[in-house]
Structure 1
Amino acid sequence: MIRAALRGLTTRGRSFLAAAAAATLSAFVLGERELLQVAGLLAALPILAVVAVARTRYRLSCTRSVHPGRIQAGTAASVTLRLENLSRVPTGVLLLEEQLPPALGEPPRFVLDRLSSRQWSSVDYPIRVDVRGRYEIGPLTVRLSDPFGLCELTRSFTRTERIVVTPQVAPLQPIPLEGDRSGSSVSQPRSTASRGEDAATTREYRHGDDYRRVHWRSTARTGELMVRREEQPRESTGTVLLDARFAGHRGTGPASSLEWAVSAAASITCHLLRAGFDLHLVTDSGLDQSLSSGAGGENIALGLLAEVEASRIQSLGMALERFRHERDQLLVAIVGLLTPEECTRLAAARTGGTSIAVLIDSTAWASIPSAAKAEADRRYQENIGRLSAAGWRVMPARPGARISSLWVPSEPTSGPSTMHVPPAPGNGIRSNGFHGVSS
């Protein structure tokens, strides 16, 4: 501990020792014995400071809390440090410094007044994060110093705090989604259809059934007491694909097309989970996470999306395979640059349910020669046409666009039906997520 304290001598303390050495040398050269007394005094002060700091035995506890516990990118949070003196000896003035990653700003420094035995004090400081991810706050370091500032000893707590900075989530409105009814309709057997619609919506009376559910027309026709069938809840399912390939995006930092795509995926995923959907979140790097509707699914989704990084995978083939195994369900693809082959495979991945493609014009996030830009624009328009022709609803995304501005009602087409994403059900009965409206 003495060695550590010696290494903690400040510039002032080292200057005292240097002055003591100079006074000693001058005393021998000049033959002045009084200078030796001065040299002894100059050397004694930093040595006593080293011993005093080394023998300091403070027992301090530190707890840290972050509010809110999960931070959205671009917002601020507050960190509270609570320091308590557990020893019987009062502390002196403490210099505190919190260790922070560069993305969270400069390390904050505090001066904490004297703490008596069992006394505690707290300090707050703000943080603001513009880049999503997981970060570690701490440890807290405490500088112990003598009253003359000749020696400083730094001690660190071991406890740190992990925080999750999630992508920005924009509120989306329920919108009508164009598509087929193949995913929500149930074909009736021929024998049932020949008996009419009443036979499909009624059943025989059972002991305990409510008489108010008696279907008198069917009862009169069959000669047996018939009741209306209960509505059977059907689950809403969907898959959200996020293209995070390095080759599919342009730009750097929070203003890159990848960050726009991650934020769009977070907004759409949370919107659908709140609407009662059970989802699969799929990425090009192999992530395939099942998400249940509700707050629990949102927390898992945001935690996963907070850690998404640009992958070096060149093709979307692995992610598109996941689409091919899920028929007649909601499909949402947030994709960057696509080759003609990838666009063809994505178009073919639609299997009859509602399909939405958020097509990001990634080249608009970078400065490229005019000739290359013209070629990129031509390919982009071709991809829009190819996906639209295959039945996808395409949402073109360019710099400055907001997913909340793209996720808006569109004019109904001449297709056979229109589907709607319903608001979250409040009656305890799960909807199938779509309501067909015959054209």
Structure 2
Amino acid sequence: MDKPQRFDSRNALSWTRSEPGPEALRRWHLDLFTPRGWYTLGAGAGLIALAYVLGRHELMALGVGLAALAIASWLLVLRARRTTSLRRRLHSPAATVAEPALVTLECPDEVRIRETLPEEFGPGPELEGPGAVDYELVFRSRGVHLLGPARQVISDPLGLIRGMVSIGQPQPVPVRAQIHPLARFASLGERMLTGDARFSRSTTADYYDVATRDYQQGDSIRQVHWKATARHGKLMVRQENHVATAQALMVLDRTAEHWQSGGADLRIGIPQGLGPELSSSRRFENALSLACSIGQRYADSGYQLLFRDLDGSPLVGGESLRLSEHAARSSFEDFHLASAELGPLPAAPGQHQAQDLIGANLHRELLSMREEPVIMILGQVSLDQAAALAALSRTVRHVELFLLAAHPERYAQVQQLMARTGWNIHLLHGNGSLDDARGVS
């Protein structure tokens, strides 16, 4: 089986875009006439005019014949041009930035089809129907990109008409934020992810949250609880054998002013299909990608993730708490899919005081996560806001805080203040690459 052709927007910088014809011609499909077609049509019109002046009937017949030939070819090609059975299939529910997405284009009719890719990819693959063609797309930006409409190559045997016309409808393709391996943060939540943290309401998926009892003859060696055995000095076994799912809170700063501050932040447009683009920045894209990367790591360890913004509003619509291994993965997948449409939001006036970084709803939720892990990803924080945030450390103990700053060197005082909390603080250059992030943690 042949390997599918791969299209990567990073490698499509040198393609030459063909200039479309004038709008008036394209509206009536007159751009389908080849130079030979225009010459034939023009010659027919010229002979008709000359016959009218000279009064020669044979010239009139020849001119009408040439013009009729060109127009008839144009009408016949337009009539027979469309195929209604074109089908495009994405092999996964959504694509992910920097990962190949497999697409299949199928057509049962005897036509020649050229796929229309997003503009940054250049010309798409061609298909000679009936048949199918597989190809891979590697997106370099998240959002809702459009595939299609495909274009059918049409022509007539005389060479008077040739061109491409659109068939079908554009298909939206959600592209999720990139997942990074996070080698830079190898110790991220290590104590919590190994089951050493004891939660009041839940535990990690690899730690059995059960009562223990003395070993009895016939008990399996697999039931031995080694920590309890070491603590009591005799063999202890698990009284029950079930796995609970832990709970974690992910807080992502979506305040536009925190991510788009002056000339330090490069503005980025995130496509949203047929709708207007989302306004974003390089720092926010890194923050969203970091949230997805950390979320995947926690979900793989069995954590049920709750996703909130600074006001305590859910980042995923219809979020519900279902403590199970399947729900842990499902909650992350819902957030990862929603990342195609998330963007910074302007702060509503009077939402909460300027000196308060977090809203009342999030404050209450944080106080309920006394022993569960909390991950906070921020774009900007003042010294007063940092002091108010640090006061929570007396209650909320297990926090990984990431500050993606445009100028990390300006946050020395904030870092010193937050270092006293006992939380894990990561101060990063927000406009850099997460794969080789540098900062102080």
TM-score range, shorter chain: 0.5 to 0.7
1:368 matched residue in structure 2: none
Of 377, 380, 401 in structure 2, the residue corresponding to residue 337 of structure 1 is 380
Q: How far apart are 1:355 and its partner, in Å?
A: 1.0
Match in the other structure for 1:302 = 336
Q: 2: distance between equivalents of 1:355 and 1:185?
A: 14
Hey, what does 2:239 align to over in structure 1?
230
Question: Contact conserved, 1:96 with 1:110, CA < 8 A, in 2?
Answer: yes
The answer on 1:148 being equivalent to 2:148 is: no
CA spacing shift, 1:149–1:74, aligned 2, 3 Å: same
2:267 pairs, out of 236, 252, 255, with 252
Deviations 1:263-298 (A, max 9, x none): 111111110111121111112472254576554333
Give the 3-state SS of the residue equivalent to 1:383 in structure 2.
helix
Gaps of 5+ in 1: 86-90, 187-199, 215-225, 365-376, 411-439
Q: Secondary structure at the match of 1:306?
A: coil
Q: Does the alignment pair 1:390 with 2:428? A: no
Structure 2 residue 70 is the aligned partner of structure 1 residue 46: yes
Identity of aligned residues (%): 24
How far the C-alpha of 1:21 sits from its partner, in A, is: 2.0
Deviation (angstroms), 1:403: 6.5
Distance 1:401 1:274 in 2: 24
- CA shift at 1:64, angstroms? 1.5
The answer to whether 1:66 aligns with 2:90 is: yes
CA contact (8 A) 1:83 1:121 kept: yes
The separation in 2 between residues aligned to 1:312 and 1:211, in whole angstroms, is 59
One-letter amino acid of the counterpart of residue 10, structure 1 = F
| Cα-Cα RMSD | 4.1
* Structure 1 residues 131-168: Cα deviation after superposition (integer angstroms, max 9, x where no partner): 11222322323243322243468665445543232222
Q: How far did 1:60 drift?
A: 4.5
What SS does the aligned partner of 1:40 have?
Answer: helix
Distance 1:149 1:123, change over 3 A: farther
Paired residues for 1:162-181 under 5 Å: 162-172=172-182, 173=186, 175=188
Shift of residue 246, structure 1, vs aligned partner: 1.6
Aligned length: 353
Partner of residue 297, structure 2 = 271
Of the two, which has the highest radius of gyration? 1
Report how far residue 45 of structure 1 moved: 0.9
Partner of 2:434: 402
Q: Is the 8 A contact 2:177 2:292 kept in 1?
A: yes
Helix, strand or coil at the partner of 2:334: helix
SS at match of 2:250: strand
Cα pair 2:155 2:163 within 8 Å, conserved: yes
1:98 aligned residue (95, 98, 115): 115
Structure 1 equivalent of residue 133 of structure 2 = 123
Q: Secondary structure at the match of 1:122?
A: strand
Q: Is the 8 A contact 1:71 1:77 kept in 2?
A: yes
Question: 1:413-424, aligned counterparts within 5 Å?
Answer: none
Letter in 1 for 2:387: T
Distance in 2 of aligned mates of 1:45 and 1:167: 54
